Each structure stands twice: as structure tokens, then as C-alpha cells.
Amino acid sequence: MFAKEIEEYEALRGSYDEKVARPMGAEESRKYNEILFSAHSCAIEGNSFTVDDTRELKEKGLAMVPRGASLLEAFEMLDHFNAYEYMTSRLDHPLDEALLKEVNRRVMLHTLSYRSPGATPGEYTDVDMAAGDTLFGDHAELVARVPQLLESTRQALSRPDIHPMVVAARFHGFFEYLHPFRDGNGRTGRLLSNYILLRSGHPLLVIMREQRDEYIAAMKAIRKEATDTYLVSFFFKCAIARMRQELSQVSANPSRLGLFLF
């Protein structure tokens, strides 16, 4: 299963590494990805910051809050920077509850008290959760299954016959199904899915805000149809589209220089 997607993805990944990732260098790539990923991951949750807004916030801090945006959105983005930087600097850390809780703590550090007074960032929910039109069920039962998810994911990562993108997507789908925190489950799940990819040597996966509806539909299919096939395919689709788009940008730039020559 997913043989076609894996073949297409891997064919692009070599070119992407050679023409985009390596020439950019580790530090520049990290900064570029932090802004792009943070902007789109927070936008999926309703944040209004554009990629340009996010870049300015990263460079200038709270001195730059775009007109029409709230201070809460700015703190949400700053917390995401914090969580992203923590995650990318801990790729040698085991995938365990300590990592999971610390990523969520950083994601929700300055905004959880506003959204859920009395709740503690990084601690599992003590009430049943809902999101949109989805009721997740008995929170205690769902939280109790988190260690099993982490263990099965660790085992899958050690198996050469399972592609890391499949592991990342299945982890994400099951994590969101469990919905173990009071808030920030989506951002936390997307960060940890990328932890899985990055530690396996793969490019960062960015789900664009424009892909939100398709993403949500793929997530809902897990509950409605008892399958994560749509989500796995969606992860590959996002990764392939991004690599193609950035390779196209890189290959187009040299030819455009001719427009400015005498």
C-alpha cells in the first residue's frame, strides 16, 4: 500500500535535497521552515497571521503586531516558535510522554489560561473534549492509550519496511483521535509528526492553510470510515506538492536573471 506515493515522493526527495535543502544550509533552512510551518500550522487553528506577518514577528517580536490581528494571536505564534525550536533541537530525544508534554506546554504557554482558565499547559485534560462537531469521548480512557501510541510509533520507526511518512501520518491521526490535551492538540500533533520525519532525515511537512478542509476531511475519515488511508495519502500529497513547488522556484530563478541583462 502507498507504493506509488512512496515512489513519487522518494524520486523528488533526492532532487529536493540536492537543489533546495543542501544549498540553503542547515541554519537558513531551519529559519525558513520555522516561519513557514508556524504560519500555516497556526492558521489551521484560526490564526490570521500571514507568512510575511510571521516573519516580521520573528524578527521584531511584539513590536510588530499587524493591524487587525490580536495580541493573543501574536503570543500563539511566539509560543509556536518556542515549541518548534525545542522540537528541532531534541531530535535525539526518545518519543515519550516527557517530550509530548513539553511540546504541548510550550505550544500553550501563554494562551491556555485565556482559552481554558484553570488548565495547565503540558498536562493531560481532566474533562471530555470536543472540537468542531466532534466529541472525543471518555478522556480518561483516551489519555490512558497515549503510552501505547508512543510505544507502537517507536517500534514502527525501527522497521525499515514502514516509510517514515506513513508512520508520521498514522501517529498524527491516532494522536488527534485521542486528543489528550485541553488545547493545542493540532499544533502539538503536527510538531510531533515532523519530529518523526526530521529524525528520519526527511524534509519538514507543511500543511498549508489552503489545504485545511481536505486535511480535516481526511482526519474525520478515521472516525467515520475507520481508516487512515486518506490521511496518509494526504500527507504524501502535501509533501510532494511542496517539494515540486520549491524545486520549480529554484529552477526558474536563474533563467529570470536574463530579464535584467543588457
Cell of 128: 471530555
Q: How many CA within 13 A on the CB side of residue 46?
A: 6
CA distance 41 to 172: 14
CA distance 19 to 241: 16
Q: How many CA within 13 A on the CB side of residue 224?
A: 10
Would residue 139 show up in a list of annotated catalytic residues for this protein? no
2: left (phi over 0), alpha (psi -120 to 50) or beta: left
User: What's the CA dihedral at 46, 48, 53, 58 to 10 degrees?
Assistant: -40
Alpha carbon of 200 to those of 46, 91, 153: distances in Å?
30, 9, 13
Amino acid at 36: L
Buried b (16+ CB within 10 A) or exposed e, 163-176: bbbbbbbbbbbbbb
* Marked catalytic residue, from 80, 139, 163, 179: 179
- Sequence-distant (6+) residues with CB within 8 A of 120 are 112
User: What angle in degrees, to the nearest 10, is found between the helix axes of 229-256 and 212-225?
Assistant: 160
User: What's the CA dihedral at 125, 130, 134, 135 to 10 degrees?
Assistant: 70
Active site residues: 179
